[in-house]
Chains A and B, each alone.
Chain A
Amino acid sequence: MAKNTRKILFFVGLVLLGLVLPLLVRSSYWRHVLILAYFYGLLACSWSFLEGYGGQFSFGHIALATVGGYTSGLLGKYFGFSPPVSMLVGILGAGVIGFIIGVLCLRFRGAYLALFTIAFSEIVRVVITAESNITMGRMGLELSPLFAQSNKIPYYYNMFLFLVFGFAIMYLVVHSRYGLYLRSIREDQDAAEAMGVDITKYKVLAFTLTSMICGLAGVFYGHYLGILTPSFTSISTMGLVIAMAIIGGVESLVAAALGGILLEFGLEFLREVGTWRLVLFGGLLVFVVRFARNGLIAPVYHKMIGE
């Protein structure tokens, strides 16, 4: 089975590359960029899971990551929980919120879910800013570091592990019967129901899973940077994630993840160009949506693995 072999080789190759990169990339700054790139890659991938496979267009991913991060931070600050425990609770917290949103939004079609999640994201941002007595508002909530060392290496491997782990879970789901159910829901919800698919259950599960992955990304982000502020939960940041997934290829987990990683890298690379790099990014997004719906990376990826 040549196709499967090529796919396996591709993934193994990427993992090996990821494991080896810190040895090749010596500068602390570029290691930092890689870590952020993996962070965005994981988020973009989880967005593509929810939209590209499940058909649910959500603006809530950054907000859910924020919820996870703040939960972990607050537990650490006020109850003395240590990071592994507080992070776990943060992930679960994000999952619970995601579950609630998933249930509330069951009947929403199309843009209504988008609008609702915009509102959710804004509410999160406003509440965090307003309750500054507890959350430290704009000054930022401090989170304890994960590792004693100050160099980036352990953080790099941590984020890489989270990326691989999160991706693996979504990949397994997508290639299972549940993946077929999700895709059928995206294609035609009513027909899927007539074929015996419990759309309620799977829509909510998809939302919950994606939220937990956001939580995973968020708790790492918070403890890595050491600080979280409400400005992170902006629609603009969410827009970046969506753009990355779309430009990468929204119907492919791999393409979306690579989209996140490569585009974040690209944004850093072009830092000297100033805000024009975001203009380029925006133009690219509009172009891809209009003329290359399947994304730019997805076709390359499919060619590489021979599909």
Chain B
Amino acid sequence: MYTADYFLMQGMSGLVLGSLYALMALGLTLIFSVLKVINFAHGEFYVIGGYISYFLLSLVAGIPPIFGVLASMVGLFFLGALVEGTLLRPIHLGQVDRPDEYAILITFGLSFLFQNLLLSVCGPFPKTPPSFLQGGWRIGVMMISYDRIIAAGIAIGIMTLMMWLVRSTWSGQALRAVSQNKDAASIVGINPLRMNTLAFAIGSALAGGSGALVAPVFSMAPDAGVVPSIRSFIIVVLGGMGSIKGAIIGGLIIGLIETLGTAVIPDPSRALAYKRVYGLIIFALVLLVRPQGLFGEEE
């Protein structure tokens, strides 16, 4: 059963999924890098992204699914900016006691609120936006759906664009400056508050975009954000908090581990259940042994 073809296919499937995971993790790491905050609502932004895409594509017939992705990213950009401006800005203005605890609580509180809001408004049943492209690519008896490949391609495209933007635009440089040294950046005329909002907005948009990309494949439900959220934490810790490179490579690693890991346990039903444990164990180990991850900075 475990032929070379199988591993090849699983490997590619892993990379495909990994790119999607990486996109979402990139958003999380960007938020941490600039705001120094872990966004516990990241999974919910992902779900909202999926829903935006679904509703747009079902209300407006005949438009290419890519618009769903665009709409999600734009929608989440503004939602992220709103959230940051109203709820997170007080941290940076010194208006909040125990800022570390506050950051966890407010983003977690939002996650709780959004999840139940989505549940109440959209109902518990999963929604599936239309496919990008029906069918799939076959090798032997195995297949990767075109949807996944296209989604991964778009994800890679977005990530590449992001990395290019960060390097070559003024805003990108400003974001990097703030992530490295907030005070020094403000002395040079960069407004850290605006950069915080920008970073959070972009990070949310990336989460939303990955939700929209994944929704045609895995469909979307109000509680579908929990697992991707945890997975993003794993990737960001593995790759190193605040490291773009780390998020991308970490995403690919986790994608591979999840798909190839099923081959390790012979009993198929348990293998599937344990799929997620590998990532969790790696997570725990990294936190214990090398908390800065692969590419992060040592504290």
Residues of A within 8 A of B (CB): 51, 57, 104, 107-112, 114-116, 118-120, 122-123, 126-127, 129-131, 234-236, 239, 242-243, 246, 274-276, 278-279, 281-283, 285-286, 289-290, 293
Interface of A is mostly: helix
- At the interface, yes or no: B46 with Cβ under 8 Å from chain A? no
Residues of B within 8 A of A289 (CB): 102, 105-106, 109
- At the interface, yes or no: B1 with Cβ under 8 Å from chain A? no
Interface of B is mostly: helix
- At the interface, yes or no: B108 with Cβ under 8 Å from chain A? yes
Q: Does the CB pair B273–A129 fall under 8 Å?
A: yes
Q: Does the CB pair A119–B283 fall under 8 Å?
A: yes
Residues of B within 8 A of A (CB): 38, 40, 87, 90, 96-98, 100-106, 108-117, 119-120, 223, 226, 230, 233-234, 237, 270, 273-274, 276-277, 280-281, 283-284, 287-288, 291
Complex: how many Å from CA A179 to CA B195?
A: 41
Complex: how many Å from CA A120 to CA B116?
A: 24
A120-B284, A239-B108, A286-B106 known; A110+B100 contact, CB < 8 A: yes
Least CB distance from B45 to A in Å reads 15
Residues of B within 8 A of A108 (CB): 287, 291
Residues of A within 8 A of B115 (CB): 236, 282
Q: Does the CB pair A285–B112 fall under 8 Å?
A: yes
Complex: how many Å from CA A139 to CA B276?
A: 21
Q: Does the CB pair B223–A236 fall under 8 Å?
A: yes
A119-B230, A123-B281 known; A112+B287 contact, CB < 8 A: yes
Complex: how many Å from CA A115 to CA B104?
A: 10
Q: Per a CB cutoff under 8 Å, which of A51, A104, A116, A279 touches B117?
A: A279
Residues of B within 8 A of A243 (CB): 109, 112
Q: Per a CB cutoff under 8 Å, which of B110, B116, B230 touches A122?
A: B230
Q: Does the CB pair B230–A285 fall under 8 Å?
A: no
Q: Does the CB pair A293–B112 fall under 8 Å?
A: no
Q: Does the CB pair B280–A122 fall under 8 Å?
A: yes
Complex: how many Å from CA A115 to CA B288?
A: 12
Q: Does the CB pair B120–A119 fall under 8 Å?
A: no
Q: Does the CB pair A57–B280 fall under 8 Å?
A: no
